[in-house]
């Protein structure tokens, strides 16, 4: 216990000696005198909060004094003469004109930008329409190509048959024994009364179907060689001279039929 007491006393004495030495060094080096000590004591006697409040109050006083001086200067200024008032009005008018011109330029810039955007949009729409047209043309060409290939396949099958068998097959096409999905769909969509189609509508539908079957048969005959075509027509003439005559007439008028053009491959 005594050792601890002695240690505290030694530490306190050491701190006192260090403090006295530091103060002596400040005085010896001309960094501390009585005036500075009094000023330091007065500064430390005021809290930080009090110092900030005093600084704010001083700043407010300076601002109020500046406002008062400005108001006094304005009050002491003599009134404007007529020429000075006219000059001030002219200056204000010029400023208004500049603001109006600036506003007009801004409006014109916005209008030009809107016109450019509208033109760009119209161009993009035109490009899109052109792309759709080209795509539709490509699709149409693709469909025509498929139809051409299928026609060639059917013609090859017909070419492999003898005239009598070819005549029999074409007769079935003319009679409509082979089911036609398109014709069936058209008949189902036609108006009906009590579940039955009206006679004029049914007759017109039958006539169109017969004309389409005749057109297809004529296309097949037109695509065959002259010798084979003559043999097939001869087979038709044996059983149905009227049908053979009608087919021959259709072949003669094929070049004048609307919507039919014979190509080098014989396709429709």
pLDDT in tens, 215-229: 878 877 777 777 777
Question: What is the reported pLDDT for 4?
Answer: 81
Question: What is the reported pLDDT for 233?
Answer: 78
Q: Where are the domains of the chain?
A: 86-150, 161-187+202-261
Complete DSSP assignment for 108-167: HHHHHHHHHHHHHHHHHHHHHHHHHHHHHHHHHHHHHHHHHHHHHHHHHHHHTS-HHHHH
Cα-based angle 159, 268, 181 (whole degrees, multiple of 5) = 85
pTM: 0.31
Q: What is the pLDDT of residues 175-190, one digit of tens each?
A: 765 444 444 444 444 4
Spatial CB neighbours of 178, under 8 Å, sequence gap ≥ 6: 172
How far apart CA 216 and CA 178 sit, in angstroms, is 13
How far apart CA 260 and CA 266 sit, in angstroms, is 11
Residue 116: which pLDDT band, with cuts at 50, 70 and 90?
very high
**Residue 193 pairs with which residues in a beta bridge?**
196
How far apart CA 21 and CA 28 sit, in angstroms, is 10
Question: What is the reported pLDDT for 199?
Answer: 58
Q: What is the pLDDT of residues 84-114, one digit of tens each?
A: 677 777 778 888 888 888 999 999 999 999 9
The share of the chain scoring above pLDDT 90, in percent, equals 7
Cα-based angle 207, 175, 201 (whole degrees, multiple of 5) = 25
Distance of CA 107 to the CA centre of its chain: 27
Higher pLDDT, 133 or 1: 133
How far apart CA 83 and CA 86 sit, in angstroms, is 5
Question: What is the reported pLDDT for 268?
Answer: 41
Q: Which residue in the block uniquely carries the two structure tokens 């809290």?
A: 47
Give CA separation, 48 vs 22, 43, 44, 45, 55, in Å.
Answer: 26, 10, 9, 10, 11
């Amino acid at each position: 216990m005594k050792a601890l007491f002695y240690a505290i006393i030694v530490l306190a004495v050491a701190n006192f000696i260090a403090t006295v030495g530091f103060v002596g060094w400040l005085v010896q080096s001309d960094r501390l005198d009585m005036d500075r000590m009094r000023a330091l004591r007065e500064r430390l006697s005021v809290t930080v909060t009090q110092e900030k409040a005093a600084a704010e109050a001083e700043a407010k006083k300076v601002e109020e004094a500046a406002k008062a001086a400005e108001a006094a200067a304005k009050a002491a200024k003599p009134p404007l003469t007529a020429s000075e008032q006219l000059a001030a009005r002219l200056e204000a008018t010029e400023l208004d004109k500049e603001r109006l011109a600036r506003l007009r330029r801004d409006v014109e810039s916005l209008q030009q930008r809107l016109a450019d955007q509208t033109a760009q949009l119209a161009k993009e729409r035109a490009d899109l329409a052109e792309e759709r047209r080209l795509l539709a043309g490509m699709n149409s060409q693709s469909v025509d190509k498929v139809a051409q290939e299928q026609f060639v396949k059917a013609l090859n099958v017909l070419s492999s048959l003898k005239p009598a068998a070819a005549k029999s097959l074409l007769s079935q096409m003319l009679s409509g024994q082979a089911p036609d999905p398109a014709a069936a769909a058209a008949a189902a969509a036609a108006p009906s009364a009590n579940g039955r189609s009206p006679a004029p509508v049914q007759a017109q539908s039958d006539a169109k179907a017969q004309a389409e079957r005749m057109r297809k048969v004529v296309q097949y005959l037109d695509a065959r060689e002259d010798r084979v075509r003559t043999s097939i027509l001869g087979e038709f003439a044996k059983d149905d001279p009227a049908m053979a005559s009608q087919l021959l007439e259709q072949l003669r008028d094929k070049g004048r039929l609307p919507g039919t053009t014979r190509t080098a491959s014989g396709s429709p």
